[in-house]
Amino acid sequence: MPDAKPADALALHWTDRLPPAAQPYARLSRLDRPIGWQLLLLPCLMGIALAETEEGFWQDDFWLALLLLFGAIAMRGAGCTWNDILDRDIDAKVARTALRPIPSGQVSGRNAALWLAAQCAIGLLVLLALPRLAQIVALCAIPLVALYPLMKRVTWWPQAWLGLCFSWGALVAMAAVRGRLTLDAALLYLGCVAWTIAYDTIYALQDVEDDALVGVRSTARLFGEDWRDWTLRFYVAALMAWAGAAGLAGATLFTAAAFAAIGALMVWPMLQRIDPRKPPSALAAFRYNAQIGLAAIGAFALAPAWLMLTGLF
């Protein structure tokens, strides 16, 4: 049934009230699966919080966050559209992706390309509103994004390539706030890459059998029965890199303690709840990473929020 909802789509979403002709394009952009743009936006917000560690938050930070929100939604949609254009033959062979608009025949290749161009135009407007260095940094991500859909065909580490793409917003935000990129920005970026590898490995657990049948590679297949240990290592690496970035930026030990708490109270229990034989448990854990990302932003925001509050009083 081409109008059936994919398992990972929200049961109730505002896109369901769109005109029938518009709904396939909303699904093509994964608007009914907001976790994608959320995970793209979270590194951007981490970058803003880290960049303001010693200065405190300003009104301009709010407007930058809003701008990056629009950019994250538009570019995540464009990336999904590009991915589906290139993967239409593979998607038709995988149960979870066969209902996507292109393989199911709801959107033609030509119309998908036009929709891709429209979303890129929105991304361009956001780009033009950014400071010059942030514009340059953002443009450097285009080759990474363009090549990502091909990675599952040539490497067992497509999750690492996705990490390079999805974490780029951290660098854009740091460049926009500070006007330069420093070592703490690099550590933040590496931490976000490790985090992406971890949560996308969990996501890929849903497709291990189908991926093996069609020859698609993933870290979930590569790690095999040891997926939990490997995923934990990447979460630990992410938390350590984030804590190191915060320390370089001038944060106190309270921030490092907050990251340790995220690992103990959020990451570890989440990993124990996953049963790889039950795809819904992997999907729920994947979605839970939005809360982990929000907690990480909270940890980064401890120092600048305190400075802002003391400045008010």
Q: Do the Cβ atoms of 235 and 267 come closer than 8 Å? A: yes
Q: What is the pLDDT of residues 269-279, one digit of tens each?
A: 999 999 999 99
Residues 6+ apart with CB under 8 A from 260: 239, 243
Break the chain into its structural domains and give their ranges. Answer: 19-312
Sign of CA dihedral 30, 32, 36, 38: positive
State the pLDDT at residue 1: 41
Q: What is the pLDDT of residues 239-288, one digit of tens each?
A: 999 999 999 999 999 999 999 999 999 999 999 999 999 999 999 999 99
pLDDT grade, residue 96 (50/70/90)? low
Range 19-312 has CATH code 1.10.10.10: no
Q: What is the pLDDT of residues 68-79, one digit of tens each?
A: 999 999 999 999
Sign of CA dihedral 88, 192, 168, 143: negative
> What is the spatial distance between Cα 68 and Cα 72, in angstroms, rounded to a whole number?
6
Q: What is the pLDDT of residues 167-220, one digit of tens each?
A: 999 999 999 999 999 999 999 999 999 999 999 999 999 988 878 877 889 999
Can you say how many angstroms the Cα of residue 161 is from the centroid of all Cα atoms in its chain?
A: 12
Question: Which tokens belong to 67?
Answer: 């701008």
State the pLDDT at residue 142: 93
